[in-house]
Amino acid sequence: MDNAGYEALMAEYAEIEERLYTRAVLRDYRLGHRLRRQLEAMEAVVVDGSPGGWDPYDPYDVMIRVEALRNASGEPPVWPDPWDIMRLCRHHADRFGWKTVPLNADSALTVLAVRAGESGPGPWSVFKRLSGVHEFLGAHGVPEGEAVRFEIRVWPDDHGPAELPGPPEDWREDVYHRQGPSCSGGPTAAVRITHIPSGRWVRGNDYSKEANVSVVHADARRLMRAWLLTDRIGPDEPAHRFVRPPAEPISRNIWRSWSPPDVEAMMTGGTSEEYRAAVSAISAGEPGSVARDLATGTGPDQAG
């Protein structure tokens, strides 16, 4: 690291140290956790002496958004759905001891917040590699042998103030809160935030009886802020390729009910050998082959 780089890093380090004692940080422990992880990561860069490969967003928490894309039949799959993929993300976060908070649990779109503690790696450093389109064979509710796709977007969460940027007239916020027996089957609290100039919108909901509208509202605002944060990540930054993933699938795997793909395999990307074998068997018209059974989701737990 040259002197100029070292001085810039130390200046940023001193600024973060000062922020730790501001009123805003003392009111929001999650922001404090992120800043402490950031200091820890910067100390490691100084020791290593090579900041070139360091992603400044690595200490950040994340918002993970999973959406089922329409397939050739025009309908999303019955199974798996976005919540099945979100469940894999929650299990992966558990390995690091991170907290996960569902922000939206619709059948076509789900959002999960992943939050770390005061030290160690930030969720962005792990889950950013999941950002992109993922394709699976073995889905139910679609024609046999047809692949389904899910778009996973991972956004860094800076835990800044919950206020939305820009003039108030740029925003529309719809808040719903239902109580009583008539609300069964739907969310008891829901918030939809729309950025009018761009048309972007996010939604948060809570199906529990103890739903807190103010919490759902604050989480929906944080989700929108995380989305807007991606606009400030330039093409020369390491995080850019993760917030602007390619349109084509970054991974292709088999989805089996008794053994769904591991998140790490999805992050690694590429096409699995099982997927290749299944596609070859389907193309060759081998209905009784093991590869076709894998591709159509049949297996020992579905027999009989």
**Which pLDDT tens digit goes with each residue over 106-123?**
667 788 899 988 888 889
Number of domains in the chain: 1
Task: Give the pLDDT confidence score for residue 179 in this predicted structure.
Answer: 60
Question: Domain for residue 49, yes or no?
Answer: no
Question: Domain for residue 19, yes or no?
Answer: no
3-state SS string for the chain: CCHHHHHHHHHHHHHHHHHCCCHHHHHCHHHHHHHHHHHHHHHHHHHHCCHHHCCCCCCCEEEEEEEECCCCCCCCCCECCHHHHHHHHHHHHHHCCCEEEEEEECCCEEEEEEECCCCCCCHHHHHHHHCEEEEEECCECCCCCCCEEEEEEEEEECCCCCCCCCCHHHEEEEEEECCCHHHCCCCCEEEEEEECCCCEEEEEEECCCCCCHHHHHHHHHHHHHHHHHHHHCCCCCCCHHHHCCCCCEEEEEECECCECCCHHHHHHCEECHHHHHHHHHHHHCCCCCHHHHHHCCCCHHHCC
Question: Domain for residue 223, yes or no?
Answer: yes
Question: Domain for residue 294, yes or no?
Answer: yes
Question: Domain for residue 213, yes or no?
Answer: yes
Lowest mean pLDDT among 78-82, 93-97, 257-261, 267-271: 257-261
At 304, the pLDDT band (50, 70, 90 cuts) reads: very low
Task: Give the pLDDT confidence score for residue 242 in this predicted structure.
Answer: 94
Task: Give the pLDDT confidence score for residue 260 in this predicted structure.
Answer: 82
Question: Domain for residue 22, yes or no?
Answer: no
Q: Between 148 and 211, where is the model more confident?
A: 148
**What is the rounded CA–CA span in Å between residue 242 and residue 213?**
32
pLDDT tens string 116-143: 888 888 899 899 999 999 998 887 777 7
pLDDT tens string 80-115: 888 889 999 999 999 999 999 888 766 677 888 999
Q: What range does the domain containing 240 cover?
A: 55-302
The pTM for the full model equals: 0.80
Task: Give the pLDDT confidence score for residue 243 in this predicted structure.
Answer: 94
* Overall average pLDDT of the 32-51 stretch: 72
Question: Domain for residue 147, yes or no?
Answer: yes
* Overall average pLDDT of the 41-68 stretch: 78
Q: Between 56 and 244, where is the model more confident?
A: 244
Task: Give the pLDDT confidence score for residue 288 in this predicted structure.
Answer: 46
Task: Give the pLDDT confidence score for residue 290 in this predicted structure.
Answer: 41
Question: Domain for residue 214, yes or no?
Answer: yes
